[in-house]
Structure 1
Amino acid sequence: MFSRLQRFYTSIKVATDVCMLTVAFALAYATRFIGLIPVKDGIPPLEETAVSLAMALAIFPYTFHQSRLYITNRARTHFGELFAVFKASITATLILVALTYFTRERYSRLTLALFLGYALVLVSVTRLVLRVALSEVRRRGYNLKTILVIGEGALGRRVVETVREHRELGFRVVGVLAQDAAKVGRRVRGAPVLGELSEVERILDAWPVDQVIIALPLEEQLVVKGLMEQLALRTVDVKVVPDLYQYITLYGGLEEFGGLPIISLQGDPMDGWSRVAKRAFDIVFSLVAIVLTAPLMLVTAVLVKLTSRGPVLYAQERMGIDGRTFPILKFRTMRTDAEVAGATMASQEDPRRTPIGTFLRKYSIDELPQFFNVLRGDMSLVGPRPERPVFIEEFKRQIPRYHLRHKVKSGITGWAQINGLRGQTSIQKRIEYDLYYIENWSLLMDLKILVRTALGGFLSKNAY
Structure 2
Amino acid sequence: MDSQSKFQFVGVRSNFLLRVIDIIIITVSLMTIIRGYNLIFDKDYLLLLVGVLFFYSYIGESLGLYRSWRLGRFSTMCRLVFITVTIAFLLMTLVLFFFKYSEVYSRVTMAGWFFLSVFSLVSWRLVVREVKRIRRAKGYNVQKVAIVGLTETGKHLYDEIIKHDELGFECVGFYDDREPVRIENLDVSLIVGSINDAVALATAGRIDKLYVCLPMLAEKRIADIILALGDSTVDVLITPDFLLKNLMHARIGSVGEIDTLSVFESPVNGMKHFYKRTFDIVFSLCAIIAISPVLIAVAIAVYLSSPGAILFKQDRYGLDGRKIKVWKFRSMTVTENADKVVQASKGDARITNVGAFIRRTSLDELPQFFNVLKGDMSVVGPRPHAVAHNEEYRKLVTYYMLRHKVLPGITGWAQVNGWRGETDTLDKMEKRIEYDLAYIRNWSLWWDVKIVFMTFFKGFVGKNVY
Give the 5 Å matches for 1:307-322: 307-308=306-307, 310-322=308-320
- Equivalent residue for 2:329, pick from 328, 331, 338: 331
Which amino acid in the other structure matches residue 50 of structure 2?
A
Instruction: Name the residue aligned to 1:381.
Output: 379
Instruction: Name the residue aligned to 1:363.
Output: 361
Q: What are the superposed Cα offsets for residues 11-39 of structure 1, whole Å, 9 maximum, x if unpaired?
A: 6356335324424424533652xx46445
Q: Secondary structure at the match of 1:386?
A: coil
- Equivalent residue for 1:151, pick from 126, 149, 152: 149
- Identical aligned residues as a percent: 28
Instruction: Name the residue aligned to 2:349.
Output: 351
1:96 equivalent in alignment to 2:59:
no
Which amino acid in the other structure matches residue 358 of structure 1?
A
Mapped to 1, the partners of 2:339 and 2:56 lie a distance apart of: 56
Instruction: Name the residue aligned to 1:281.
Output: 282
Q: Secondary structure at the match of 1:116?
A: helix
Distance change (3 Å), C-alpha of 1:433 and 1:461: same
Give the 5 Å matches for 1:46-445: 49-65=45-61, 69-70=65-66, 72=69, 85-102=81-98, 107-109=104-106, 111-157=109-155, 160-161=158-159, 163-164=161-162, 167-168=165-166, 170-182=168-180, 192-197=190-195, 209=207, 212-227=210-225, 235=232, 237=234, 239=236, 241=238, 243=240, 246-248=243-245, 249-255=247-253, 262-271=260-269, 272=271, 273-288=274-289, 291-304=292-305, 307-308=306-307, 310-336=308-334, 342-354=340-352, 356-425=354-423, 426-439=428-441, 441=443, 445=447
C-alpha deviation, 1:391, in angstroms: 1.9
Mapped to 2, the partners of 1:207 and 1:30 lie a distance apart of: 49
Kept in 2: contact 1:290–1:371 (CA 8 A): no
C-alpha deviation, 1:397, in angstroms: 3.6
C-alpha deviation, 1:129, in angstroms: 0.8
Which amino acid in the other structure matches residue 277 of structure 1?
T
Which amino acid in the other structure matches residue 238 of structure 2?
V
Mapped to 1, the partners of 2:395 and 2:110 lie a distance apart of: 54
Kept in 1: contact 2:205–2:234 (CA 8 A): no
C-alpha deviation, 1:279, in angstroms: 3.2
Mapped to 1, the partners of 2:9 and 2:251 lie a distance apart of: 16
Mapped to 2, the partners of 1:161 and 1:3 lie a distance apart of: 27
Tell me which moved more, 328-337 or 418-427.
Answer: 328-337
C-alpha deviation, 1:199, in angstroms: 6.3
C-alpha deviation, 1:167, in angstroms: 5.0
Distance change (3 Å), C-alpha of 1:192 and 1:260: same
Determine which structure has more spread, i.e. the larger CA radius of gyration: 1
Which amino acid in the other structure matches residue 360 of structure 2?
K
Mapped to 2, the partners of 1:237 and 1:341 lie a distance apart of: 57
Q: Secondary structure at the match of 2:463?
A: coil
Q: What are the superposed Cα offsets for residues 296-320 of structure 1, whole Å, 9 maximum, x if unpaired?
A: 133123224xx34x44433221112
Kept in 1: contact 2:284–2:369 (CA 8 A): no
C-alpha deviation, 1:292, in angstroms: 2.7
Unmatched 5+ residue regions in structure 1?
Answer: none
Mapped to 1, the partners of 2:72 and 2:188 lie a distance apart of: 19
Mapped to 1, the partners of 2:289 and 2:119 lie a distance apart of: 35
Q: Secondary structure at the match of 1:122?
A: helix
Mapped to 2, the partners of 1:181 and 1:128 lie a distance apart of: 45
TM superposition score normalised by structure 2: 0.78
Which amino acid in the other structure matches residue 53 of structure 1?
L
Which amino acid in the other structure matches residue 423 of structure 1?
G
Which amino acid in the other structure matches residue 123 of structure 1?
L
- Equivalent residue for 2:24, pick from 7, 14, 22: 22
Q: What are the superposed Cα offsets for residues 189-246 of structure 1, whole Å, 9 maximum, x if unpaired?
A: 89821344466678889995555444433432333454456556x6573725274763
Mapped to 1, the partners of 2:160 and 2:254 lie a distance apart of: 23
Which amino acid in the other structure matches residue 93 of structure 1?
F
Mapped to 2, the partners of 1:455 and 1:148 lie a distance apart of: 45
Kept in 2: contact 1:251–1:439 (CA 8 A): yes
Tell me which moved more, 293-302 or 127-136.
Answer: 293-302
Q: Secondary structure at the match of 1:352?
A: coil
TM superposition score normalised by structure 1: 0.78
C-alpha deviation, 1:126, in angstroms: 0.9
Distance change (3 Å), C-alpha of 1:6 and 1:396: farther
Kept in 1: contact 2:173–2:191 (CA 8 A): yes
C-alpha deviation, 1:161, in angstroms: 4.8
Kept in 2: contact 1:148–1:212 (CA 8 A): yes
Kept in 1: contact 2:312–2:335 (CA 8 A): no
Q: What are the superposed Cα offsets for residues 319-352 of structure 1, whole Å, 9 maximum, x if unpaired?
A: 1221111122233333448688932222112233
Mapped to 2, the partners of 1:133 and 1:259 lie a distance apart of: 44
Which amino acid in the other structure matches residue 95 of structure 1?
L
Q: Secondary structure at the match of 1:219?
A: coil
Distance change (3 Å), C-alpha of 1:215 and 1:348: same
C-alpha deviation, 1:136, in angstroms: 1.7
Mapped to 2, the partners of 1:238 and 1:389 lie a distance apart of: 47
Instruction: Name the residue aligned to 1:463.
Output: 465
Q: Secondary structure at the match of 1:285?
A: helix
Tell me which moved more, 83-92 or 199-208.
Answer: 199-208
C-alpha deviation, 1:386, in angstroms: 0.5
C-alpha deviation, 1:408, in angstroms: 2.0
Which amino acid in the other structure matches residue 300 of structure 2?
V
Distance change (3 Å), C-alpha of 1:377 and 1:67: closer
Distance change (3 Å), C-alpha of 1:29 and 1:104: farther
Q: Secondary structure at the match of 1:381?
A: strand
Which amino acid in the other structure matches residue 54 of structure 1?
V
Mapped to 2, the partners of 1:180 and 1:229 lie a distance apart of: 20
Task: Report the aligned-residue RMSD.
Answer: 4.2
Unmatched 5+ residue regions in structure 2?
Answer: none
